Amino acid sequence: MSIKILNNDEKKWFLETKNTVYVIGVDEDKNLQHLYWGEKLPYTSDYPGVLLLKESPFDNFEQIIKEEFSPWGGIRYKEPGLKVIYEDQVRDLILKYKTYKLIDSDKCKTLIIYLIDSAYNLEVELNYRLIEEYDLIERWVNIKNKGSQSVQIKQILSAQWHLPDIQNYRLSYLYGRWAGETKLSRIELGYGKKVLESRRGITSHQFNPWFAVDNGQADEDIGKVYYGILGWSGNWKIVFEKDSYGRLQIGGGINDFDFSWQLKPNECFVTPKFVAGHTTNGFGDASRKLHHYQLDYILPGNANHKIRPVLYNSWEATSFNVNEEGQKKLAEKAASLGVELFVLDDGWFGERNDDTAGLGDWYVNKKKFPHDLTSLISYVNELGMDFGLWVEPEMVNKNSKLYNLHPDWVYHFPNRPRSESRNQFVLNLAKKEVVEYIYDFINTLLGTYNIKFIKWDMNRPFSEPGWSEASKFQQQEIWVCHVQGLYQILDRLRRKYPEVIFESCSGGGGRIDLGILQRTDQVWVSDNTDAFDRLKIQEGFSYAYAPKIMMSWVTDSPNWLNQRKLSLEYRFNVAMMGGLGIGGNLNNWSKNEIKLAKEKVIQYKKIREIIQHGDQYRLLPSWKGNLIAVEYVNKNKDKAVLFVFLHSQQFGEKLPPIKLNGLISDFLYQYQDDNKKIILSGKALKEIGLKVNLKGDFDSKLIILEKQNKRND
Ligand code: DGJ
């Protein structure tokens, strides 16, 4: 595994990961051409060479070659990687190969290829960082203005990926809405473009920046899959462009919609990362690689291998009606269940009695908490739990002290209405004083109280994104400045309070991406806590993100959203598939429910290492039928957990055995089903499977398998 360079008459780079190779070459006209991406081939001479000028038929050369990173200029009509306007109003960009550099400093090797528009001294650095063990390549671009005049960037993608020729490209992607995020959709890509994007200022509930492309026949365990995921928490887009020769180019990065960036002399613009990979082992392998990549390379240092605590969150129980007495009562109950972290949600500050007031006024509401938060926090700590707090720092209500003081702090255009959504405005994080205000209030909270967890919420998308003081060249920079401001605050807080866990929330799953995950430890996936609905949301989530990141709560039945009634066992089993939380009103739970909840928390603590750090297998995905089965196997493969959910059973319908995966063939595994102990080999569990006794509607089972040293049956 390495970055090999061929340096004869033709220059080529071979980016080798454990199982794949990615090849780039420079042609005689100094264009950078993409040559190959896929499985390793036996000989270097097997890989294709650059296309030569003379080989270009009727269509122009730039349209024929697979440009590794295409500028907008010359005779080009495809989606560009970079589009600029120079100060003299020239809008033509010519990028030619200049040189390259190899970096081998941290645990990864990085190749940087330098391109230059020499007439204007605009340098473009293409970065390729190899995540060798997971067959992934992180790509991003730095643009340096080494000229003497400003340049206006109109479009800048992080990477363009070229796929090999495939008869039918099938795209898998995640779409959704509030309370229905990360649902899997699959379509065949026809000629032309398919665009996934967000223009809402946040990653969005509607689309998540993940994709997978196969030939329509790959399954969970077999088939070639190309897949990728973007690390950006603002406006983004991924464009799938199948040209008239049937070839697919995938470009992604910051959305160029309403975007412009002024790059002054000596300044550098760095794009977010776009990571992608290739596997021959289907969607399951692709997901597992992304999961482990996130644990090892993305999550903040202190969070990646620490087990997530079981938390209690009071939102669904008390909504805005929080007070010291009520929270203490809930805390006692939560502690008795074995909860490790007690989180006080919305409503504790300012005049926040509903969603019409208070956002922005981050002082403790003394009517609700007469002894400040200190008394509640000490109480929670004495009960043996850590304390966590909800904040929504980027927002302000019109009805708040902050808005009265600083009405100019929100995005707006002069002489135009300011649209409210959930009765609130978005603060302009492009303004330094706003960033300081947010940092200061959270710093004060963390410095004053013993807070070990922050739930960072963001409950509305942007509108009227005006920034009155900015120059006319910088007006459209706000989309990027906001995200940069947010990242800056989180980075500073994390540095100062490395032990604090941060959860990203945006009205549920509106801000889930690799950018926010570099700064937060986990995400609130959806406000939809109905366990059955949640199964599909969690399944979609699992294609792109690790179970450890996924927070899931057990809430009350009937569910507040759809009134569905589900057993407590079922609700626990669904929530235990990621980071477990409890969010019901414990005051209303019966003795039997409390007893079962205690048992389930004990059970979860025994298996959470397997769930949070193991390999996840979607054995029976929801779209295949009536049964859903998901398995988790630990690193040593001596322990596994199986979750099975039955939707509804027709009379006489026989349920198929569940065929397990990821176990060692000749290891013996013991499990218990309905008080019966059963021992089977890994091979038998894979080939014959395991019978699960499920009945009726919405039944579920959690089965734990452990390796046995010898047969004792
Ligand atoms: C939206 C979140 O997703 C909920 O969990 C809760 O925190 C509310 N906001 C509070 O306003």
How far apart, in whole angstroms, are the C-alpha atoms of residue 470 and residue 591?
Answer: 61
pLDDT at 17: 97
**Is the minimum distance from the CB of 507 to ligand 1 under 6 angstroms?**
yes
Position 5, amino acid:
I
Strands 668-673 and 676-681: antiparallel
Helix 568-575 × helix 591-613 angle, to 10°: 20
For 1-48, the pLDDT digits (tens) are: 578 887 766 789 999 999 999 999 999 999 999 999 999 999 999 999
C-alpha 552 – ligand 1 centre gap (Å) = 13
Q: Is 416 exposed, middle or buried (0-12, 13-18, 19+ CB in 10 A)?
A: exposed
Catalytic pick among 27, 135, 285, 527: 527
C-alpha 508 – ligand 1 centre gap (Å) = 7
Residue 650's pLDDT band (boundaries 50, 70, 90)?
A: confident
**Is the minimum distance from the CB of 316 to ligand 1 under 6 angstroms?**
no
Task: Name which residue sits closest to atom 2 of ligand 1, judged by CA.
Answer: 507
Neighbouring-strand partners of residue 690: 658
C-alpha 507 – ligand 1 centre gap (Å) = 6
> In what helix (H) or strand (E) does residue 537 lie, and over which residues does it extend?
helix 531-544
C-alpha 392 – ligand 1 centre gap (Å) = 9
Looking from the CA of residue 313, the nearest atom of ligand 1 is: 5
Catalytic-residue membership of 372: no
pLDDT at 56 over 60: no
C-alpha 488 – ligand 1 centre gap (Å) = 23
**Is the minimum distance from the CB of 345 to ligand 1 under 6 angstroms?**
yes
C-alpha 68 – ligand 1 centre gap (Å) = 42
pLDDT at 391: 98
Catalytic pick among 345, 457, 533, 556: 457
| Of 356, 459, 523, 555, best ligand 1 pocket probe by most atoms within 8 Å of the beta carbon | 459
pLDDT at 5: 82
Task: Name which residue sits closest to atom 10 of ligand 1, judged by CA.
Answer: 346
pLDDT at 545: 98
Name the residue with higher pLDDT: 625 or 427: 427
Is the bond leading into 558 cis (omega within 30 degrees of zero)?
yes
Percentage of the chain modeled with pLDDT above 70 = 98
**Is the minimum distance from the CB of 318 to ligand 1 under 6 angstroms?**
no
**Is the minimum distance from the CB of 123 to ligand 1 under 6 angstroms?**
no
Neighbouring-strand partners of residue 193: 241
Residue 112's pLDDT band (boundaries 50, 70, 90)?
A: very high
| Of 527, 534, 582, best ligand 1 pocket probe by most atoms within 8 Å of the beta carbon | 527
pLDDT at 623: 87
How far apart, in whole angstroms, are the C-alpha atoms of residue 366 and residue 371?
Answer: 7
Phi, psi dihedral angles at 296 (to 5 degrees): -90, -30
pLDDT at 709: 84
Mean pLDDT of 561-576: 97
Task: Name which residue sits closest to atom 11 of ligand 1, judged by CA.
Answer: 346
**Is the minimum distance from the CB of 631 to ligand 1 under 6 angstroms?**
no
Residue 624's pLDDT band (boundaries 50, 70, 90)?
A: confident
Residue 711's pLDDT band (boundaries 50, 70, 90)?
A: low
Integer-rounded Cα Rg, in Å, for the chain is: 27
| Of 202, 320, 458, 505, best ligand 1 pocket probe by most atoms within 8 Å of the beta carbon | 505
Task: Name which residue sits closest to atom 6 of ligand 1, judged by CA.
Answer: 315
Contacts of 448 (CB under 8 A, 6+ apart): none
**Is the minimum distance from the CB of 505 to ligand 1 under 6 angstroms?**
yes
Residues in the chain: 713
How far apart, in whole angstroms, are the C-alpha atoms of residue 249 and residue 633?
Answer: 36
Task: Name which residue sits closest to atom 9 of ligand 1, judged by CA.
Answer: 507
> In what helix (H) or strand (E) does residue 444 lie, and over which residues does it extend?
helix 432-448
How far apart, in whole angstroms, are the C-alpha atoms of residue 509 and residue 428?
Answer: 22
Q: How far is the CA of 187 from the CAs of 212, 216, 403, in angstroms? A: 11, 9, 46
Which tokens go with 310? 């079981």
How far apart, in whole angstroms, are the C-alpha atoms of residue 66 and residue 331?
Answer: 60
C-alpha 345 – ligand 1 centre gap (Å) = 7
Buried b vs exposed e over 156-193: b needs ≥16 C-beta within 10 Å? Answer: bbbbbbbbeebeebbbbbbbbebbbbbbbeeeebeeee
C-alpha 425 – ligand 1 centre gap (Å) = 16
Phi, psi dihedral angles at 427 (to 5 degrees): -75, 145
**Is the minimum distance from the CB of 530 to ligand 1 under 6 angstroms?**
no
pLDDT at 481 over 90: yes
| Of 181, 319, 353, 390, best ligand 1 pocket probe by most atoms within 8 Å of the beta carbon | 390
CB 631 within 8 A of CB 690: no
pLDDT at 349: 98
Of the candidates 86, 71, 92, 51, the one whose C-alpha atom is nearest the C-alpha of residue 160 is 71
| Of 457, 528, 552, best ligand 1 pocket probe by most atoms within 8 Å of the beta carbon | 457
Residue 60's pLDDT band (boundaries 50, 70, 90)?
A: confident
Neighbouring-strand partners of residue 630: 618, 643
Mean pLDDT of 264-271: 98
Catalytic-residue membership of 457: yes
pLDDT at 54: 63
C-alpha 692 – ligand 1 centre gap (Å) = 37
Mean pLDDT of 490-514: 97
C-alpha 457 – ligand 1 centre gap (Å) = 7
pLDDT at 653: 86
**Is the minimum distance from the CB of 241 to ligand 1 under 6 angstroms?**
no
pTM score, whole prediction: 0.97
Tell me the CB-side half-sphere exposure of residue 554, using CA atoms within 13 A: 31
Tell me the CB-side half-sphere exposure of residue 269, using CA atoms within 13 A: 28
Q: Would you give the DSSP letter of residue 636?
A: T
Percentage of the chain modeled with pLDDT above 90 = 92
For 321-358, the pLDDT digits (tens) are: 999 999 999 999 999 999 999 999 999 999 999 999 99
**Is the minimum distance from the CB of 527 to ligand 1 under 6 angstroms?**
yes
**Is the minimum distance from the CB of 524 to ligand 1 under 6 angstroms?**
yes
For 273-313, the pLDDT digits (tens) are: 999 999 999 999 999 999 999 999 999 986 668 999 999 99
How far apart, in whole angstroms, are the C-alpha atoms of residue 669 and residue 710?
Answer: 10
How far apart, in whole angstroms, are the C-alpha atoms of residue 351 and residue 371?
Answer: 17
How far apart, in whole angstroms, are the C-alpha atoms of residue 534 and residue 438?
Answer: 33
Considering the chain, what is the average pLDDT of its residues?
Answer: 96
**Is the minimum distance from the CB of 508 to ligand 1 under 6 angstroms?**
yes
Which tokens go with 579? 């980071």
Helix 531-544 × helix 282-293 angle, to 10°: 80
CB 159 within 8 A of CB 251: yes
**Is the minimum distance from the CB of 459 to ligand 1 under 6 angstroms?**
yes
Neighbouring-strand partners of residue 551: 524, 579
Characterise 200 by phi-psi region: left (phi > 0), alpha (psi -120 to 50), beta (else): alpha
CB 230 within 8 A of CB 239: no
Helix, strand, or coil here: 13?
Answer: strand
Distance between alpha carbon 401 and the CA centroid of its chain, in Å?
A: 34
How far apart, in whole angstroms, are the C-alpha atoms of residue 371 and residue 713?
Answer: 61
Contacts of 406 (CB under 8 A, 6+ apart): none
C-alpha 127 – ligand 1 centre gap (Å) = 38
Residue 57's pLDDT band (boundaries 50, 70, 90)?
A: low
Looking from the CA of residue 345, the nearest atom of ligand 1 is: 7
Of the candidates 588, 523, 578, the one whose C-alpha atom is nearest the C-alpha of residue 555 is 588
